[in-house]
């Protein structure tokens, strides 16, 4: 059995995401074989193709689970700490557990576990939350139903980015940190069930509000005025905030709590993506950048086998570039420049690469539920553009795609796509469970149908 290393002892200051794991760390969880741990399936695919026989590659997320919607089991961190490297995405809020694990490693185990950020060199794309554009609205002040907030967007006034998005009863994204003794100005935008924003001007009965959640540390002081919320950092630490909408001075709606950290801010090195799509891997050409990043990380870790990793990466990049060319050729002669995806939008990078738009009644998160107005808008678009296929992701299910197809006039069908973030066991059994196979056998044919490209 391999000797127990320092990485098998978790410090008392373990992150909240892995609190309570110390009892798991008394045993050596490694097999002795050099291992690379990947935070989800797609990154494991990249690492396996680059590593070859150099490392065993483990995928943290089981089959048939979304990488960004999965929570770790209790013994996962010890396994990661027993690996030689951890491949993940340094993307705020995509996989919070993985980001917490990376911070833990950087703080306490940097000499023992290499961190490979597969997002390095890839620009996340701003997510155009246009799926709620459901037609013309002509609401005057006070024309909203009392307190019926369906969405809240929080904007960092410094960058102009939407950094957090509250939908129904949950949050996506995260608030930027506030420096101790400093401040951070945020903006709030409340939207009703029909997609119309509540007016927050001086002559409106509506105003935004914010408070520290009950029993949370008073790490910040707040000042809310209309659509602005200013946070003043009082002392270092983490607290929870609740945002609200006031009407005539009374609070008529409040959000679930969301965390904010009061800490020293490195403005130069901060990687604040806001509400963006980091799923670059829907586009095989963007994926080549991540493959090269993994290659460089493995070479730094194991320079004696650099030639092997260079060769493996070059062969895999050639395959991905070939897939990109097949997408280009197949989608060039098409009837439409928009597709309707009745699931969460994982294809911004692919659509941007090939010049078509993604319309979804759901949005960016797989947890979001479309309203009847969202479904109706998708039906209208299908009918207006003569779209013959509505797309769906099997991890989201096909019920919304079926509903849109059945409601639309004409012979409208459905087609399955995959953003290659995970896999189904049946795909493996049928021979296309790998990343390239999913793109070629599932996603390309489906987009060709949806775009009228044969």
The model's pLDDT over 80-101, given as tens digits with 9 standing for 90+, comes to 999 999 999 998 778 888 998 9
> Is the per-residue pLDDT at 136 higher than 90?
no
What is the Cα–Cα distance from 343 to 450, expressed in whole angstroms? Answer: 14
Q: Three-class SS of residue 60?
A: coil
Question: pLDDT, tens digit, for every residue of 405-438?
Answer: 999 998 999 999 998 899 999 998 898 889 999 9
Q: Residue 243: which H helix or E strand, with range?
A: strand 237-247
Query: What share of the chain has pLDDT > 70, as a percent?
Result: 82
Q: Are 172 and 275 in contact (CB under 8 A)?
A: yes
pTM > 0.75: no
| Ordered domains of the chain (ranges, CATH) | 6-123+282-313 (3.40.50.1980), 149-274 (2.60.40.1080), 333-450 (3.40.50.1980)
Q: Is the C-alpha dihedral spanning 394, 395, 399, 401 positive or negative?
A: negative
Among 7-21, 122-136, 149-163, 196-210, the least confident range? 7-21
Query: What share of the chain has pLDDT > 90, as a percent?
Result: 55
Q: What is the pLDDT of residue 334?
A: 95
> Is the per-residue pLDDT at 342 higher than 60?
yes
Query: Which 8-state DSSP code applies to residue 385?
Result: H
| Total length of the chain | 454
Q: Is the C-alpha dihedral spanning 145, 147, 152, 157 positive or negative?
A: positive
Q: Are 99 and 118 in contact (CB under 8 A)?
A: no
> Is the per-residue pLDDT at 159 higher than 90?
no
Could you tell me the CA-to-CA distances from 394 to 170, 292, 391, 397, 442 in Å, in that order?
23, 29, 10, 5, 11
What is the overall mean pLDDT for the chain? 83
Q: Are 341 and 275 in contact (CB under 8 A)?
A: no
Mean pLDDT within 363-386: 77
Query: Which 8-state DSSP code applies to residue 127?
Result: P
Residue 275's pLDDT band, with cuts at 50, 70 and 90, is low
Tokens of 93: 């809020």
Q: Are 368 and 167 in contact (CB under 8 A)?
A: yes
Q: Are 323 and 440 in contact (CB under 8 A)?
A: yes
Residue located via tokens 């997609």? 195
Could you tell me the CA-to-CA distances from 35 to 56, 226, 236, 364, 398 in Å, in that order?
5, 53, 37, 33, 37
Q: Three-class SS of residue 399?
A: helix
Of the candidates 327, 323, 335, 338, the residue with the CA atom closest to the CA atom of residue 453: 335
Q: What is the pLDDT of residue 56?
A: 95
Burial category of 402 from C-beta neighbours within 10 Å (exposed 0-12, middle 13-18, buried 19 and up)? middle
Q: How many CB atoms lie within 10 A of CB 70?
A: 17
What is the Cα–Cα distance from 138 to 10, expressed in whole angstroms? Answer: 58
Mean pLDDT within 272-300: 87
Would strands 85-88 and 35-38 be described as parallel, antiparallel, or unpaired?
Answer: parallel
Q: What is the pLDDT of residue 72?
A: 76
Q: What is the pLDDT of residue 383?
A: 95
């Amino acid at each position: 059995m391999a000797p127990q290393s320092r990485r098998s002892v978790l410090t008392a200051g373990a992150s909240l995401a892995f609190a309570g794991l110390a009892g798991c760390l008394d045993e050596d969880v490694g097999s002795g074989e050099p291992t690379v741990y990947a935070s989800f399936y797609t990154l494991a695919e990249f690492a396996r193709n680059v590593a070859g026989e150099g490392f065993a590659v483990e995928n943290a997320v089981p089959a048939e689970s979304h990488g960004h919607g999965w929570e770790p089991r209790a013994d996962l961190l010890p396994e990661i700490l027993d690996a030689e490297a951890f491949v993940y995405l340094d993307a705020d809020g995509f996989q919070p557990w993985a980001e917490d694990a990376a911070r833990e490693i950087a703080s306490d185990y940097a000499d023992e576990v290499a961190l490979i950020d597969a997002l390095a060199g890839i620009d996340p794309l701003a997510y155009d939350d246009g799926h709620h554009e459901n037609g013309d609205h002509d609401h005057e002040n006070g024309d909203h139903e009392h307190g019926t907030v369906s969405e809240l967007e929080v904007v960092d006034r410094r960058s102009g980015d939407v950094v957090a998005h509250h939908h129904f009863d949950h949050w996506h994204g995260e608030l930027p940190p506030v420096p101790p003794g400093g401040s951070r100005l945020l903006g709030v935008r409340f939207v009703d069930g029909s997609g119309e924003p509540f007016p927050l001007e001086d002559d409106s009965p509506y105003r935004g509000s914010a408070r520290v959640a009950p029993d949370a540390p008073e790490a910040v002081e707040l000042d809310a005025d209309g659509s602005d919320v200013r946070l003043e950092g009082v002392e270092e630490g983490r607290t929870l905030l609740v945002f609200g909408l006031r009407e005539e001075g009374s609070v008529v709606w409040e959000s679930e709590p969301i965390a904010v950290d009061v800490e020293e801010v490195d403005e130069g090195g901060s990687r604040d993506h806001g509400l963006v799509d980091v799923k670059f891997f829907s586009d095989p050409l963007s994926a080549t950048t991540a493959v090269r990043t993994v290659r460089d990380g493995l070479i730094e870790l194991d320079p004696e086998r650099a030639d092997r990793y260079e060769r493996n990466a070059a062969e895999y990049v050639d395959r991905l570039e070939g897939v990109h060319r097949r997408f280009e050729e197949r989608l060039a002669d098409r009837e439409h420049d928009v597709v309707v995806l009745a699931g969460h939008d994982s294809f911004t990078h692919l659509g941007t690469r090939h010049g078509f738009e993604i319309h979804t009644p759901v949005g960016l998160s797989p947890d979001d539920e479309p309203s009847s107005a969202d479904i109706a808008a998708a039906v209208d678009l299908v009918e207006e553009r003569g779209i013959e296929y509505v797309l769906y992701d099997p991890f989201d299910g096909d019920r919304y795609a079926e509903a849109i197809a059945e409601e639309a006039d004409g012979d409208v069908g459905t087609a399955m796509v995959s953003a290659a973030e995970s896999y189904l066991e049946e795909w493996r059994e049928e021979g296309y469970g790998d990343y390239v196979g999913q793109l070629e056998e599932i996603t390309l044919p489906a987009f060709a149908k949806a775009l009228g490209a044969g």
